[in-house]
Structure 1
């Protein structure tokens, strides 16, 4: 196996926008009179907007037009909050790893279910470190289906077996494995433990170390 590309999730990997998502969902839930906790917000990690809304509604039913308005309202709140983002909000080690990958001549793509992914990486000042962006507009089936990562690999003109996905959500890890990718999981073992490599963060991640560890799986 020769690794030729990396595909990065956004939230929880490159920056922590989970707090902004929580604040936006919480504001919407308060307006609807629905209890919503930080623990419940964790269950929305890596889940597309519509599915997240249905989980927040806890079985309450609304016409499709109302669901669409609620999603738009939440997104409006989120966009208000992410205007606070700046290059200071890139998580430790993320920019350095991206730069190391580019310096090695490897390709990079973003693979995020967020429909605001392009704006976020622009505000973070890392957009120029990506060769391609696959986001919430790119495919119909979102994680845990592998479609988003397969689309990202196609944009890089690489097969999944030559790409490493970096993910922090269980749904994202499942999607990457289903697509035939190598996976680096960021976060606790109980959440991303099925990944080939599990790291607490990218703070100490080095390209040479990751490639060396993944060679072990290629040899199996």
Structure 2
């Protein structure tokens, strides 16, 4: 292991955005809950079963927006028309619900702002100072704006986000394709890249992509689940790996 807490063969680090770089995972969870609870309440009335933390972790966290809608609704035995990417947020379609969630997310970000995990930014700076290349890999279509808002866009050599994935037709997490694309863009093999993720879907992507090291970032007390889904190591904060404090 190096002083960065990584195997010596690692040449690049691939970081998820929400929950790893920025404190936006809780905002995403709140936007999803409002979206699904409103939909389920209209559909099922007062007897509806609310969207919960376990639903977020299992079916939504880390996945592209439309995939999250499909995955959660399937868990409740609900199937909706796909619709189109520009559907109204009021439409009862996969894309309509996804757009409703995104509108709520942007509203929450505008109201509350975005914060970065300072320890993560220091760790990324340390990684770069040691000559490793860096990428941000996120299913969010708002990734570039969020990075800019916290002044972190210059810390990453490559960005593979929801916009890039759509342009390249890359399937999202738990498939490894976005991480593999980032490693390729950085000019390294997956075996020489480390993945940093807080979502179970991200752990699955790291494992199935045969990356050299998978770091699970446990912000919500799901360390055992992160390990079960493929983490080589689990930390509560990247400072634990050896970044300057």
Give TM-score scaled by structure 2 length. 0.77
C-alpha separation between the residues in 1 aligned to 2:200 and 2:36? 24
C-alpha separation between the residues in 2 aligned to 1:171 and 1:63? 24
Q: CA deviation at 1:4?
A: 1.4
Q: CA deviation at 1:163?
A: 0.9
Asked if structure 2 preserves the Cα contact closer than 8 Å seen for 1:93 and 1:203, the reply is: yes
Could you tell me which runs of 5 or more consecutive residues in structure 2 were left unpaired when the two chains were aligned: 1-7, 42-47, 84-92
Match of 1:218 in 2: none
C-alpha separation between the residues in 1 aligned to 2:187 and 2:113? 31
Q: CA deviation at 1:207?
A: 5.5
Q: How many correspondences in the alignment?
A: 206
Change in CA separation of 1:71 and 1:153 when aligned onto 2, cut-off 3 Å:
same
C-alpha separation between the residues in 2 aligned to 1:99 and 1:46? 24
Q: CA deviation at 1:170?
A: 2.0
Q: How does 1:79-98 map to 2 (within 5 A)?
A: 79-83=106-110, 84-86=112-114, 89-98=115-124
Q: Please list every run of at least 4 consecutive aligned residues from structure 1 whose deviation after the TM superposition is greater than 3 angstroms.
A: none
Match of 2:187 in 1: 157
Structure 2 counterpart of 1:185, from 207, 216, 221: 216
C-alpha separation between the residues in 2 aligned to 1:42 and 1:180? 22
Asked if structure 2 preserves the Cα contact closer than 8 Å seen for 1:93 and 1:205, the reply is: no
Asked if structure 2 preserves the Cα contact closer than 8 Å seen for 1:92 and 1:202, the reply is: no
Q: How does 1:57-206 map to 2 (within 5 A)?
A: 57=73, 58-65=76-83, 66-83=93-110, 84-86=112-114, 89-137=115-163, 138=165, 139-181=169-211, 182-187=213-218, 188-193=222-227, 194-206=230-242
Q: CA deviation at 1:29?
A: 2.4
1:40 paired to 2:31: no
Secondary structure of the 2:107 match is: helix
Q: CA deviation at 1:164?
A: 0.8
C-alpha separation between the residues in 2 aligned to 1:55 and 1:154? 28
C-alpha separation between the residues in 2 aligned to 1:56 and 1:42? 10
Q: CA deviation at 1:104?
A: 1.6
Q: Deviations over 1:37-79 (max 9, x none)?
A: 2332232221221122124432223222222122112111111
Change in CA separation of 1:102 and 1:22 when aligned onto 2, cut-off 3 Å:
same
Could you tell me which runs of 5 or more consecutive residues in structure 1 were left unpaired when the two chains were aligned: 209-220
Aligned alpha-carbon RMSD (Å): 2.0
Asked if structure 2 preserves the Cα contact closer than 8 Å seen for 1:85 and 1:124, the reply is: no
Give TM-score scaled by structure 1 length. 0.85
Secondary structure of the 1:185 match is: strand
Secondary structure of the 1:203 match is: helix
